[in-house]
Amino acid sequence: MVWPVTLSLSIIAYPLSVVQRTAYCLADSLAIQIHSDSENLSLTIFPAQANLTLPAEQARVLVLQHLNDFALRDRINDETAGLREALVRAALTGCEIAP
């Protein structure tokens, strides 16, 4: 595989916010150009530095790992939002905040 690496992603599986966090996280080694339409995201991945020794296939795997990590974090965050709010309410019950 040669540079640039291109990935086509479903916007349902990988929301734009997940892709942007991945691009930010990997910005020191990879430059990721993001293009979106109504159903898909297209990523074009380049080395961020001319002397990058990371093979293109390894960069592809690295991007996919980060995408999956951030997508899973989002899903866990969504699924536990109600529990977190209940815990905060329970922790603050009886606390009085003086003006």
> Has residue 99 been placed in a domain?
no
Residue numbers of the domain that contains 82 = 5-92
pLDDT at residue 89, as a whole number: 85
Question: 4 falls in which pLDDT band (50, 70, 90)?
Answer: very high
How distant is the alpha carbon of residue 90 from its chain centre? 31
Is the separation of the CB atoms in 59 and 73 below 8 Å?
Answer: no
- 43 falls within a domain: yes
**9-63 pLDDT tens trace:** 999 999 999 999 999 999 999 999 999 998 999 999 999 998 888 999 999 999 9
Please indicate, yes or no, if residue 98 is contained in any of the structural domains: no
Q: Check if the beta carbon of residue 35 is closer than 8 Å to that of residue 42.
A: yes
Identify the bridge partners of residue 10 per DSSP, sorted by sequence position: 40
Instruction: Please say whether the beta carbons of 70 and 22 come within 8 A.
Output: yes
- Residue 97 belongs to a domain: no
Q: How many domains does the chain have?
A: 1
CATH number, residue 37: 3.30.70
Q: How confident is the model at residue 68 (pLDDT cuts 50, 70, 90)?
A: very high
Full-model pTM: 0.84
